[in-house]
Structure 1
Amino acid sequence: MEHWAAKNKEATENQFQRLPDDVVLNIFDKLSDIQCLCRCFVVSKRFSSLIPLVQTVSIESKTWSSKYDCKTVHWKSNYGHGGTLPLGDFAENLITNLVLRPLRELYNRSLFPTSHRDVSGVIFLARLTHVQALNIELPSNFVGDNDSVFKWGAKFTPNLDSVTFLYASSLSKMMESERQQQESESEEEEEEMELGITNRERNRRVVIAIECIKDAVLWLGILCFVSDCPLSHFPMLQSVTITDSKKKGAKLCLSGEKLAECRNTFSMTRMHSLLSMGWSWTLENMRVGYVPVLHLPMSEYVMKGVTIVNYKMFADDDYDAYKAMVDAFAEEQDVFSEAVVQIQEKHKDCMINLLF
């Protein structure tokens, strides 16, 4: 019996060995997950010669070490300092510990691997010299909160001008009666508009928004790493996609001219220069708006208890907050992008500077 099993295994291996290189390479392309490619790389000389030619690579959230997790940066909220609460220390800690230190380690290890078979996690990326499509999924620490939904987005530039956060207590399909009445507010809605939300609940949502700022800075750091590590030497790279495991960040897709601009302007040196600008981060940079009921006629959904937060980070003085909010969700084309447009068109006056 054991002899038959061994013979059958040998026959299977021989059949796989007979496959042409292009077929085997296509299988690895379909596999794409970098951890699986790492394991296959050390199986045989043939695999180790073919895997560097893979064109599609995916890095899932489980691949990232806990040292690159957002939990490594802490920020204690304090509402006793008025609207001038400085976030400079938070900015310095965030950029240094969450971005610069771990990504510098990745950068150095990718340049100087400990051995020719150092295939650990993200470090292995530097060995894949023919990558055309890179898909990155980063870990997310957010935990579900009843029926509430939220998402953040940013228009990624070398300066990361701002981050926009959209939170709703509930999201549901619009009833027929709501579709008929969406053009005019009911008395109940007007009363709720006057009541708004409590300061405690507003502050809780602002703290969640600050957690999203952490993610946005991490994404910026990943873009700088992609542009400034050996990956930038890959002439075949055509697209980069970044998401998070909980889908809380608006998907970032770069290709063509956008990717070329990214590779020409993003760098770890740029992250260092942003660190020196962190002193300007205060809660005065934050604008918050509240809409009790938001109808979305295109998708036929209704959001209730909607809070929108826009945080100006490194933008110039001529920064247009409303355009930035729309741009942050432009590529999503979902209920969140429609919600931002509706707020801009019908509830523009709801946005105020944050004062605790």
Structure 2
Amino acid sequence: MNFEDEQQDEIDHFDRLPDPLVLLIFNKIHDHDSLFNCLSVSKRFNSLLPQIDDLFIKLHRRAFNFFDPDEDDRHCCCSKPKSNSSKNPFKHFLRKPLKFIHKLISPNPSSTSPNSNPKTQSPDQILKNFREIQSLKLQLPSWSGILGSNVGCELLKWRAEFGAELEKCAIIAAESFYRENNFDENKKKSSNQELFEQDLNLRVMWTVSCLIAASARHRLLQKMIKDHEKIKNVTVSDSEKQGTLRMNEEQIRKSCFCSSNSEEWGERMFSEMERSRIPNVRVRLWYVPKQELKESGHVMEGATLIVINPIDKISDDDGWISQAFDGDEEENPLKDAVEVMIRSELHYVLEINSF
């Protein structure tokens, strides 16, 4: 090998790529953990990465020194004995998503160093490094029952959209969800379409718990994106794919306007809230004792569809409801279930005051 060949081997051909093309590659990666590793590759990478416009952040539990919520109760000097909380499980489960989000909003001081490991950085600290973000996807760590109570059901998923406050929410749940390949067309189906009081109360608990989880995520987003004017859409989900909150550009502007004009709430009250306020809402609830989904081979027992809208903004947008669960392949059966249940004329209507 001669000297010229050695020189050609030493050329870094990636450096010959123009900056816009490198940014396009980084936007295709969009995973924060991977992008963080690229920061130390070269000065060029370090200068280009803050300019990306598409970012996915997967938050890790150890970034916030998480303990089990029940463990927090046992160590809190003002906590009540566990036996008392078991007498009021409704209050106990509603407290979980708020504690969860509180830890996200108030991370350990040791996690705020800009050069710290991405697995220990807070959401605010991560976004400070990316000022041109237009599309943000945030995945929260999750434990069953923390981000929306799934007590009394095997399946519970929710989707919500917020502006300044809740605009719409859909919940699908089932007491039992399993696959059955041998359907009998002549099998007698349950004719009892009514919910007993205790069953209805349980579904109200699912509803309120999911609303609190969604409003807590909305409050977290307000804190995170208030100084990022270029963001056009955000999605917040969790690792167990239980709940998803989405906001488009118009909804983000409404939300940030509400955040910057918090005097109407009272500055102190707004700054101390761990979730956004839920307005007066109307709840439509469909219930099917046993729902057979022949295309996917699944069976839902105690199948429940819940649709929530602010009372002053009632929407009959059934198209959005069916699309709310039109996600990845594993959610296709849920879309089928929604389309079947929403065609049923029998459903319950109730109202919940703001909280």
TM-score range, shorter chain: 0.5 to 0.7
Q: 1:209 to 1:67 in 2, by over 3 A?
A: farther
Query: In structure 1, what residue type is equivalent to 2:233?
Result: S
Match of 1:129 in 2: 131
| Aligned pairs (5 A) from 1:160-199 | 160=166, 164-168=170-174, 169-170=176-177, 172=179, 178=185, 187-190=188-191, 193=193
Counterpart-to-counterpart distance in 1, 2:277 and 2:162: 21
Counterpart check, 1:245 vs 2:239: yes
Q: 1:325 to 1:332 in 2, by over 3 A?
A: same
Structure 2 residue aligned with 1:78, among 81, 87, 102?
Answer: 87
Match of 2:36 in 1: 38
Query: In structure 2, what residue type is equivalent to 1:32?
Result: H
Conservation of the 8 A alpha-carbon contact between 1:58 and 1:135: yes
| Aligned pairs (5 A) from 1:79-94 | 87=91
Match of 1:48 in 2: 46
Conservation of the 8 A alpha-carbon contact between 1:91 and 1:279: no
Match of 1:254 in 2: 247
Match of 1:348 in 2: 346
Conservation of the 8 A alpha-carbon contact between 1:330 and 1:337: yes
Match of 2:79 in 1: none
How many residues are treated as equivalent by the alignment?
Answer: 314
- Comparing both structures, which one devotes a greater share of its residues to helix? 1
Counterpart-to-counterpart distance in 2, 1:318 and 1:18: 57
Conservation of the 8 A alpha-carbon contact between 2:164 and 2:256: no
Q: 1:323 to 1:348 in 2, by over 3 A?
A: farther
Match of 1:264 in 2: 257
Q: 1:275 to 1:345 in 2, by over 3 A?
A: farther
Counterpart-to-counterpart distance in 2, 1:20 and 1:338: 47
Match of 2:77 in 1: none
Deviation readout 1:192-217 (Å, 9 max, x if unpaired): 657x7895x88777766665445323
Residue identity over aligned pairs, in percent, reads 21
TM-score (norm 2): 0.63
Q: 1:345 to 1:19 in 2, by over 3 A?
A: closer
Counterpart-to-counterpart distance in 2, 1:280 and 1:35: 34
Which stretch shows the higher mean deviation, 125-134 or 158-167?
158-167
Question: Unpaired segments of 5 or more residues in structure 1?
Answer: 1-7
Aligned-CA RMSD value: 5.2
Q: 1:217 to 1:277 in 2, by over 3 A?
A: closer
| Aligned pairs (5 A) from 1:301-312 | 303-308=299-304, 310=306
**Higher relative contact order (CA closer than 8 Å, sequence separation 6+):** 1
| Aligned pairs (5 A) from 1:196-211 | none
Q: CA deviation at 1:128?
A: 1.1
Q: CA deviation at 1:131?
A: 1.7
Conservation of the 8 A alpha-carbon contact between 1:154 and 1:216: yes
Question: Unpaired segments of 5 or more residues in structure 2?
Answer: 1-5, 74-81, 327-331
Counterpart-to-counterpart distance in 2, 1:268 and 1:92: 27
Match of 2:290 in 1: 293
Match of 2:57 in 1: 59
Match of 2:78 in 1: none
Conservation of the 8 A alpha-carbon contact between 2:288 and 2:303: yes
Q: 1:242 to 1:275 in 2, by over 3 A?
A: closer
Query: In structure 1, what residue type is equivalent to 2:35?
Result: L
Query: In structure 1, what residue type is equivalent to 2:177?
Result: S
Query: In structure 2, what residue type is equivalent to 1:218?
Result: A
Counterpart-to-counterpart distance in 2, 1:52 and 1:326: 38
Q: CA deviation at 1:342?
A: 3.9
Q: 1:300 to 1:277 in 2, by over 3 A?
A: closer
